[in-house]
Structure 1
Amino acid sequence: MNYNNIHNVYFIGIGGIGMSALARYFKANNKQVMGYDKTKTEITDGLENLGVKVHFNDSIDNIPTRFLDIESTLVVYTPAIPKAHQELNYFIDNGYKVLKRSVVLGEITKHTFCLAVAGTHGKTTTTSILGHLLNECGVEVTAFLGGISENYNSNLILNGTKVTVVEADEFDRSFLTLSPDLACITSMDADHLDIYGEAEALKDSFVDFSKKLKLNGKLFVKNGLPLKGITYGIEDDSDYSVKNIKIIDGTYVFDVKTPSTTLDNFKFNLPGRHNLSNALIALAMAVEYGCPPKQLAKALASYKGVKRRFSYPIKTENLVLIDDYAHHPQEINAVHQAVREMYPNQKVMAVFQPHLFSRTRDFADEFAEALSQFDEVLLLDIYPARELPIEGITSNWLLDKMKHNHKKLVEKPEIISEIKKSNAQVILMIGAGDIGEEVKHVKEALSVAS
């Protein structure tokens, strides 16, 4: 596609994290950008502050005259949009260029030097670290992030078009539209079984992704995954490995063994071995790209994280409030490991909102086991996202599976009062639904109380 002929870009589902990054990209490239989303959020507010018009009711009357020019208008949609969506069907029926977000991302990046991060966990943090490292090392990079970077207060790093960094999403096999020069796979745990049907089909898609590399491209794989590539791991015999780990004042200090040498004295401020692994693979890819080790060490030390990835809305001596996007049992386990490492003697309450009926059904026993590790658990109703309810699959059903004496099913308005009843010093709010919108209310209430 010749994007020079495109003057208008219309997004259906513009408030999605990946969609909004593309919207910001096209806006920065002087295109007329507008779109629809179901719900007004901080992300849509941010777009509107940039001059992007966003509406929240599905009606073809919302499409302005200039966007009716078929030849100069591109329509981008997310698979989460229902098939009956009026605006989407109008554009399809009238012959517009209508493309999935992943296809557009593939088109934008294929003529760049592309670094892609794939895996069922760790994509967003790894992508944001990698984008930050390259940017701080002076690389002309555009990075499309799956979360809001604390360093840039954005899900887009825009500093040139020579190099791109992208999150390679396995949902709906979206990552097969990419053709990266360097790619990594962080994990291949079963997920999205509503799309894939079974775990083997998901694994096969990662194999297919590994074959999308450009000629002479390089693949990095977490040690232990059933794929050939440059390996990485923590304190093991991988090609790239973290060594000599220390925690000093809540900061990881460590060395990195590469295939040819050892780079010493790196500092990283995010807690949890899973985040340390994310930092390692970002460093490995940046080293292979050619970034100088001294600049990388300085850049990593300045990395602040991603909103809703072990973020600290409150961090005081007497009370800690942590916000995290974890929505898979393995991610909850990783959050648990991190919080116990950082706060080994504190009582921890987890407030969890399950995401998707199908995921709750497919991993119910694993969710119950992961959540039971916390001292207290508050469980919200399942966030449906794109799904209709499944008979018998409820949060109460999940709660019954938990072997725990301090668990309770709550509604959103009850969260604050239930937290105040507890003497837990560490409060975790976790999930990929709209629980993130509740965090600001909890922060405000607890800040006033303290």
Structure 2
Amino acid sequence: MNLKNLHSVFFLGIGGIGMSAIARWFNHIGVPVYGYDKTPSPLTEALEAEGMQISYADDSNSIPEPFKTSGADKLIVWTPAVPQSSELFKYFEANGFAIKKRAAVLGLITRNMESVAIAGTHGKTTTSSMVAHLLKHAGHNTAAFLGGLTQNYKNNLILHDEGSSESPVVVVEADEFDRSFLHLHPDLSIVTSIDPDHLDIYGDAEQLMEGFAAFIRLTNPGGKLIIHQNAYEKIKQKEIGTTPIFQYGLHSGNIHADNIKVGTTSFTFDYVAEDQRIDGLVLGVPGFHNIENALAAIAVAIHYGLSKEAISAGIATYKGVKRRFEKIYNSDRITYIDDYAHHPEEIKAFLQSVKAMYPDKKITAVFQPHLFTRTRDFASGFSESLSLADEVILLDIYPAREQPIAGITSEMLLPEITSLNKCVISKDNLLAHLQQHVPEVLVTIGAGDIDRLVKPIEKWIRDDKE
């Protein structure tokens, strides 16, 4: 399929962060874009402002005119977040439209470009955006399809300069969900982590590791695999091809950090590799895990010939990704940070960094579990990680694509949480609770619709404190 010959494209689930990046790419090259999503959001509103036509009705009567009939020049891009029982999906399927998953389309878009693919059960969005920023900031011809909105570019799509004489490099976030990353053929691969997740897709941790091994085998043998030490230990016994391997970790590996200094606004560190050292790097997005992400990104930058000065400047100007350790408000009396963490290991890494930054302050964590299956599979891990906070407030589970599972609720996490103060409350009652128990350091955590609470919380803090 020649994507540039398409007459029009329809996205089933256009408001997803990965879907919207591809929609923006088609819109950029002049292909009319239509789409459906369940509810409006700031992202869908932005897409509409960019000229895309979006419906919020799962009804065949809402089908736009170009899709009243099928044809080889029309494409339906689908994400499994929209169930196949959807009326729109059934309409497109029954009428013979070409339906391709988002990952397959991303593979088609990038198949003839040199690519850097970043995979991992956590850390891939930040690392992807770091790689893209380091290259772009240094003037390297770079495109990127990201799983989050970068604070530097206010977008999840970065476009390369088509008029440049330099061949572009495309940075791609490689999603393990639904084995999506197996549609890619990267020249360089990064694997940030391999922790059990998406067991509703893979069945067990062993099959998840097999999926990552298959992804690694897709890497160009003449390229590189840059992999976190912990991930390598889990997968080293599997067949992963002959690509040269470089391991990284916070304190050990071919690539590691030295002279780490923790601050409330930035972390500083030295980059140390077997043949390279860059001292005094200042990362304005705090977190020990973000230093690790930076180590992998810097290794890619060195591969593409960036100077120490360019790398230092790129790290210093990197602003992060929306909802990844995003500091919403900060004063002497209260600090508010929002984060997308939705796996026990992510929550652990996030809260450990928050505690290191604010060792003498009370930390209040508001967490919205994401998916019934994930809550069921990792209940003990969630309880243990959340216990790093002084106070834990649980919201109801965000179901996303799932139906409820009997007995699986947020309440099941409470018994093993060791924090002295812990409770489950509704989203509607959260603000009132916070007003009665004013936190010192407040963090909101989760991948569901907890992001809809960020603005109201910020408004309450500003109205109350200023």
TM-score (norm 1): 0.97
Q: Deviations over 1:375-432 (max 9, x none)?
A: 1111111000011111111111222332333111101111111111224211111100
**What is the distance in 1 between the residues matched to 2:383 and 2:251?**
30
**Alpha-carbon separation, structure 2, partners of 1:348 and 1:253:** 23
Tell me how far 1:247 sits from its aligned partner.
3.5
C-alpha displacement of 1:338: 1.2
Partner of 2:135: 134
Match of residue 233 from structure 1: 249
Q: Distance in 2 between matches of 1:75 and 1:446?
A: 43
Asked whether 1:216 is paired with 2:222, we answer: yes
The corresponding residue for 2:463 is 448
SS at match of 2:148: strand
Verify the 8 A CA contact 2:70 2:95 in the aligned structure 1. Answer: no
SS state at 1:392 partner: coil
Quick one: distance in 1 between partners of 2:195 and 2:20? 27
Comparing 212-221 and 385-394, the one that deviates more: 212-221
User: Which of 435, 440, 449 is the aligned partner of 1:434?
Assistant: 449
* Aligned: 1:149 with 2:165: no
Within the alignment, does 1:169 sit opposite 2:185 as a pair?
A: no
* Residues 115 and 172, structure 2, Cα contact 8 Å, conserved in 1: yes
Q: How does 1:193-342 map to 2 (within 5 A)?
A: 193-224=199-230, 225-226=232-233, 227=235, 229-236=245-252, 238-247=253-262, 250-342=265-357
Matches within 5 A, 1:23-422: 23-67=23-67, 68-160=69-161, 162-224=168-230, 225-226=232-233, 227=235, 229-236=245-252, 238-247=253-262, 250-422=265-437
Residue segments in structure 2 that go unaligned for 5+ positions in a row:
163-167, 237-244
2:21 match: secondary structure: helix
Counterpart of 1:234 in 2: which secondary structure?
coil
Q: Give SS of 1:306's match.
A: coil
Q: In structure 2, how many angstroms separate the alpha carbons of the residues matched to 1:409 and 1:265?
A: 43
Instruction: Classify the secondary structure of the residue corresponding to 1:246.
Output: strand
CA contact (8 A) 1:346 1:424 kept: no
1:304-342 CA-partner distances (Å, limit 9, x unpaired):
111111111111121111111011111110111111111
Q: Which stretch of the first structure deviates more once superposed, 402-411 or 131-140?
A: 402-411
Mapped partners of 1:125, 1:248: distance in 2: 19
Aligned AA for 1:445? Answer: W
Contact 2:397 2:410 (8 Å CA) reproduced: yes
List structure 1 segments (4+ residues) > 4 angstroms apart after TM superposition.
Answer: none
1:175-218: per-residue Cα shift (whole Å, max 9, x none)? 00100000011111111111111111101111111101124121
Please tell me the residue identity of whatever aligns with 1:26.
F
Alpha-carbon distance in 2 for matches of 1:411, 1:235: 41
Asked if the contact 2:264/2:286 (under 8 Å) is kept, the reply is no
Deviates more, 1:281-290 or 1:238-247: 238-247
Q: Is the 8 A contact 1:244 1:254 kept in 2?
A: yes
Look up the match of 2:2: 2
Q: Secondary structure at the match of 1:427?
A: strand
How far is 1:249 from its partner? 6.3
The residue type equivalent to 1:101 in the other structure is R
Cα displacement (A) at 1:80: 1.3
Partners of 1:410 and 1:165 lie apart in 2 by: 40
Q: Percent identity?
A: 46
Deviation at 1:292, TM superposition (A): 2.3
CA contact (8 A) 2:262 2:357 kept: no
The normalised TM-score by structure 2 is 0.94
Q: CA separation of 1:188/1:14 partners in 2, compared to 1, >3 Å: closer, same or farther?
A: same
CA RMSD of aligned residues (A): 1.4
For 1:284, give the aligned amino acid: A
Question: For 1:66 and 1:248, how far apart are their aligned partners in 2?
Answer: 55
CA distance in 2, matches of 1:354, 1:109: 34
Q: Is the deviation greater in 334-343 or in 251-260? A: 251-260
C-alpha displacement of 1:248:
5.5
Call closer, same or farther: CA 1:434–1:133 in 2, change over 3 Å.
Answer: same
Q: Which moved more, 1:50-59 or 1:64-73?
A: 64-73
Once residues 221 and 348 of structure 2 are traced to their aligned partners in structure 1, the CA distance between those partners, rounded to angstroms, is 37
Q: Does the C-alpha gap of structure 1 residues 251 and 405 become closer, same or farther in structure 2, counting only changes over 3 Å?
A: closer
Give the match's secondary structure for 2:318.
Answer: coil
AA in 1 matched with 2:56: F
In the aligned structure 1, how far is the partner of 2:262 from the partner of 2:348?
20
Q: Distance in 1 between matches of 2:182 and 2:161?
A: 24
Letter in 2 for 1:188: I
Q: Secondary structure at the match of 1:91?
A: helix
CA distance in 1, matches of 2:70, 2:428: 46
